[in-house]
């Protein structure tokens, strides 16, 4: 906004008692600062540092206008307090420098951001053309006829729009990094050391007693690990059938180690999608912290569909716990917290826990119909 102040002050001095030197200094500042603003945006947009030659260009531009303090080859303010331009190439140094920087800025923007959001590129492009249009307006209207030039107005407006646009790009990139970090945390939390040790020990025992069963268990174990590792490269939704298969592989391995655990499935609906590793961590939580302590542990997995969405219920007869502990720092419930967050963010779903100590736990997942969630997302985007 210093450009607006510079324009207003220059306009004020135009109609006052001539203060030629002061007015020259103010004009020099205006011509010198415009390319600097564009270069600063180039630093923000470009992940790699822009070439130092740009600073050389800005230095030359400032030096050209500084000559106005002792010569009129660039511009001068005459004794009648009127602006007079000098040599065309020199007096347009600011324009030439700004156009070069604008070109670099738009090229950098298209190169670095086009792969992500093509429909949003129009914002920086619009800003560039606004500045170019303002240059045409200023060339047809004498500067002294308006307190603030069209170029200054366009630069300020474009800078604000460009800053807001960049802010949203950085926020989106930050959210993407957080999602990637969360996927790593989820993957690491699912590959529990005790489960690995117990599984390998079970396979070792089976190699002596039943080599065929050992081979089948190794195959299941490798598929289990592969599914967990896939979370590093997959951030979207997967078919429920794929998640259910992962649950069955995991529970079959657990039942080899703990034969007294029973898993019952009542699946009436499996044609929908959900975030990866949504049901399996909850089943694992029910086994590890619930039914293992029972003489006969039982887990019922039920899936239903109605006009609003899909409901997955995981009920166990385990030890139960205080549901208020889910939101604490207790690591026992980190899996439930992760599932709840991913359901809310990725498909607009929800997770509800009902548990009583000594009686068991019921976890209910709700996933809205895809069309309904898409419509709500569009409405929220329109409001924003």
pLDDT digit string (tens) for 144-189?
Answer: 456 666 777 777 777 777 777 777 777 777 776 676 566 555 555 5
Query: Beta partners for 364?
Result: 313, 352
pLDDT band of 1, cuts 50, 70, 90: low
Q: How far apart are CA 209 and CA 216, in angstroms?
A: 13
Q: Which helix (H) or strand (E) segment is 33 a member of?
A: helix 20-45
CA angle, residues 342, 365, 297, in degrees to nearest 5: 115
Where does 191-383 sit in CATH, by number?
3.30.565.10
Contact 314, 355 (CB under 8 A): no
Contact 305, 267 (CB under 8 A): no
Q: State the distance between the two ends of the chain, measured CA to CA, in whole angstroms.
A: 27
pLDDT band of 83, cuts 50, 70, 90: confident
Residue-wise pLDDT tens digits, 28-59:
888 788 888 778 777 776 656 667 788 888 88
Q: How far apart are CA 380 and CA 374, in angstroms?
A: 10
pLDDT at 16: 66
| Dihedral sign (CA 77, 78, 83, 89) | negative
Contact 362, 354 (CB under 8 A): yes
pLDDT at 380: 43
Intervals of CATH 3.30.565.10 along the chain: 191-383
Q: Has this prediction a pTM greater than 0.75?
A: no
Phi, psi at 361, each rounded to 5°: -140, 145
List of residues 6+ apart from 99 with CB closer than 8 A: none
CA angle, residues 291, 293, 294, in degrees to nearest 5: 70
Residue-wise pLDDT tens digits, 259-275:
899 999 999 988 899 98
CB neighbourhood size of 288 (10 A): 16
CA 291, 297, 298, 299: dihedral to nearest 10 degrees?
A: 20
Say which residue the tokens 């502990």 belong to. Answer: 325
List of residues 6+ apart from 28 with CB closer than 8 A: 62, 65, 66, 68, 69
Contact 320, 355 (CB under 8 A): yes
Say which residue the tokens 């029973």 belong to. Answer: 262
List of residues 6+ apart from 13 with CB closer than 8 A: 19, 22, 23, 26, 81
């Amino acid at each position: 906004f210093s450009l607006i102040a510079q324009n207003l002050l220059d306009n004020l001095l135009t109609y006052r008692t001539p203060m030629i030197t002061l007015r020259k200094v103010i004009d020099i500042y205006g011509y010198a600062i415009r390319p600097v603003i564009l270069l600063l945006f180039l630093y923000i947009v470009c992940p790699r540092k822009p070439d130092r030659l740009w600073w050389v260009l800005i230095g030359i531009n400032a030096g050209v206008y500084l000559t106005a303090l002792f010569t009129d080859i660039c511009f001068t303010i005459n004794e009648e307090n009127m602006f007079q331009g000098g040599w065309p190439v020199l007096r347009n140094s600011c324009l030439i420098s700004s156009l070069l920087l604008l070109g670099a800025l738009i090229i950098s923007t298209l190169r670095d951001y086009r792969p992500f959001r093509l429909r949003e590129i129009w914002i920086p492009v619009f800003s560039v053309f606004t500045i170019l249009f303002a240059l045409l307006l200023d060339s047809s209207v004498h500067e002294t006829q308006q307190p603030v030039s069209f170029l200054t107005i366009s630069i300020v407006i474009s800078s604000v729009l460009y800053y807001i646009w960049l802010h949203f790009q950085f926020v989106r990139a930050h959210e993407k990094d957080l999602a990637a970090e969360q996927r790593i945390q989820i993957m690491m939390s699912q590959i529990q050391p005790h489960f690995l040790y117990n599984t390998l020990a079970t396979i070792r025992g089976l190699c002596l007693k039943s080599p065929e069963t050992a081979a089948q268990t190794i195959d299941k174990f490798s598929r289990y690990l592969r599914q967990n590792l896939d979370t590093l490269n997959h951030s979207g939704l997967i078919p429920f059938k794929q998640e259910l298969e992962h649950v069955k592989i995991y529970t079959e391995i657990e039942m080899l180690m703990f034969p007294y655990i029973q898993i019952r499935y009542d699946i009436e609906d499996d044609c929908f999608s959900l975030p990866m590793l949504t049901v399996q961590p909850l089943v694992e939580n029910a086994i590890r912290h619930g039914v293992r302590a029972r003489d006969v542990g039982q887990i019922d997995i039920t899936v239903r569909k109605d006009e609003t969405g899909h409901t997955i219920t995981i009920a166990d007869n385990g030890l139960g716990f205080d549901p208020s502990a889910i939101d604490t720092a207790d690591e026992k419930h980190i899996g439930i917290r992760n599932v709840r967050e991913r359901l809310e963010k990725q498909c607009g779903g929800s997770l509800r826990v009902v548990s009583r100590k000594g009686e068991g736990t019921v976890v209910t997942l709700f996933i809205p119909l895809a069309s309904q969630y898409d419509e709500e997302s569009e409405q929220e985007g329109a409001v924003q």
